[in-house]
Amino acid sequence: MTDTIRLALVGMGKIAHDQHVPAIAGNPAFELVATVSRSPNGVEGVPHFHDIDELAKSDIAVDAVALCTPPQVRHAIAAAALENNWHVFLEKPPGATLAEVAVLEELAAKANVTLFASWHSRYALGVEPAREWLSARKVTSAAITWREDVRQWHPGQAWIWEAGGFGVFDPGINALSIATHIMPQPFFIEQATLDFPANRDAPIAADVAFRTTDGRPVTLDLDWRQEGHQSWDIVVETTDGTLKLAEGGAVLTLPDGSTPHHEEGLHGEYPGLYARFAELVQGGRSDVDIAPLRHVADAFMRGKRREVEDFVE
């Protein structure tokens, strides 16, 4: 492999264009050498392919791929990339099931290449200082509220309502990726209620109750029907006061009113992800944290299904 990581971007939807392309362009460790998508929406001046097999048969030299496809189709693409000995960056969630991610991890180990299950919300400005502050405190409870308007943030994305598309857990897994990172003790689900529109196969809202290993309550309130102000907040009560993370982890407020931030977070979430991916590739390591995905799977296993009115976009 050359010093520069020759990267192909697979799945050219909104997140790829808005976040991945600028982050790749801003990191000298990477060169975008190809895009892959069933749609023609590639990047000007970059070779574009219909699928990953077409890319593999081309004369384009590739070291790594970043997968931004819906989770239901990602496993086969990732497996093909690993079989080509390409390093793989998985957009969140890393897969549609836990089992398929485990298989990818085994394939990456056998091929001696990097597999990176990325969680962009962990790179928000306030997350790392929140983790550091909580590491020395005793948590008494935590409340996570992630409420947004699906029509605003996910317009026309039919796949997200299909089985394996996660529904409201698509943004909700961002909250869980932060919570599993900052909480000083693990937590597990006790009960949940999932609201499914009568005409959809994925939930539009969820109310989940967790408990930490030392018996402290953690609640998760997800809703895609929010109008007006959007809420992406985590409030952690401790014996030393209340920690608040707002705006999806971007704004941290400690009990004394101070708002510390981590300097490394200044470059943004996706630049942080690509810096991490480059570090892993160059160090010959993988990073496959499935804790957020495991909580989502547990919610579907433990949750009561409640049918609500049809969702019509």
Please give the C-alpha separations between residue 91 and each of 53, 67, 68, 69, 259, in angstroms, as whole numbers: 20, 6, 5, 8, 29
* Catalytic entry in 14, 57, 92, 110: 92
Please tell me the distance from the alpha carbon of residue 254 to that of residue 73, in angstroms, as a whole number.
41
Long-range pairs for 308-312: beta carbons < 8 A, 24 or more residues apart: 308/195, 308/196, 308/197, 308/198, 308/204, 308/205, 309/197, 309/198, 310/197, 310/198, 310/199, 310/200, 311/150, 311/161, 311/197, 311/199, 311/200, 311/204, 312/199
Question: By the 8 A CB rule, do 121 and 269 touch?
Answer: yes
92 labelled catalytic: yes
Please tell me the distance from the alpha carbon of residue 192 to that of residue 183, in angstroms, as a whole number.
20
Question: By the 8 A CB rule, do 184 and 142 touch?
Answer: no
Active site residues: 92
